Amino acid sequence: MKKNKLMLTLFCCLCVAQIAVPISMIIHREDILRTGALYRFRTEPVDPSDAFRGRYVALDVQASRMLIKDKDEFERGEKLYAELTRDENGMAKIKKLTRKPPDSEDYLKVRVMYWFTRPIDGDKNRRVGMLRLDMPIKRYYMDEYEAPRAERAYNSRSRSGEVNSFVDVRVKRGEAVVEELYIGEKPVYEYLKDMR
């Protein structure tokens, strides 16, 4: 009898834990959306399919590439904290990278992917060092039927040179939640609706 009660107690604890974990994740995400600082990041969306998570627009955030002076300053795979600020157009950019969390709440946890160089103003003899960061702003989930349309809309505007896409992201203590994707200054669903 004692063994049955113990098993029942353990089973009940397991059930509570299985319910509590997803609920706490949802509450945490909603807290960031409600109280996190709003940052707008320029992006270049692409639309892959993820069989386990559904359809989404992959985001390539321009702020994930930044100028650096010395390629040996950071190591590949190193975890860093990117303190955020806004440029003159209100777009998010990285103010500085640190190895410890900054005092500000407006930072992201990032990881160094690699270092590369690129020409300055098309001059192959003059090059500048760039650092590529893995940022927590990677996907905007959409309805599975709308995601391919968003990709086509972006690609058609991109080829004509008209594209201006960005995401609104809520940031709080290193965490980020993508709030909205914009194509051509309109929220993506509104943009797709206007295309019909």
The amino acid present at 7, given as its one-letter code, is: M
pLDDT of residue 152: 74
pLDDT of residue 46: 60
pLDDT of residue 66: 85
pLDDT of residue 85: 92
Low-confidence ranges of the chain (pLDDT < 70): 1, 45-54, 154-163
| Structural domain contains residue 60 | yes
pLDDT of residue 54: 61
Encoded tokens for 166: 């960005």
| Structural domain contains residue 32 | no
| Structural domain contains residue 165 | yes
- What is the number of other CB atoms lying within 10 angstroms of the CB of residue 120? 11
- What is the number of other CB atoms lying within 10 angstroms of the CB of residue 34? 10
In 3D space, the residue among 49, 38, 53 whose CA is nearest the CA of residue 182 turns out to be 38
Opening angle at CA 113, ends 177 and 32, nearest 5:
10
pLDDT in tens, 129-179: 788 999 999 888 888 888 878 777 766 666 666 667 889 999 998 999 999
| Structural domain contains residue 18 | no
Rounded to an integer, what distance in angstroms lies between the CA atom of residue 169 and that of residue 176? 6
Domain count, the chain: 1
The amino acid present at 13, given as its one-letter code, is: C
Rounded to an integer, what distance in angstroms lies between the CA atom of residue 47 and that of residue 170? 22
| Structural domain contains residue 183 | yes
- pTM, two decimals, is 0.75
| Structural domain contains residue 95 | yes
Give me the domain span that covers residue 79. Answer: 37-195
| Structural domain contains residue 51 | yes
| Structural domain contains residue 23 | no
pLDDT of residue 184: 79
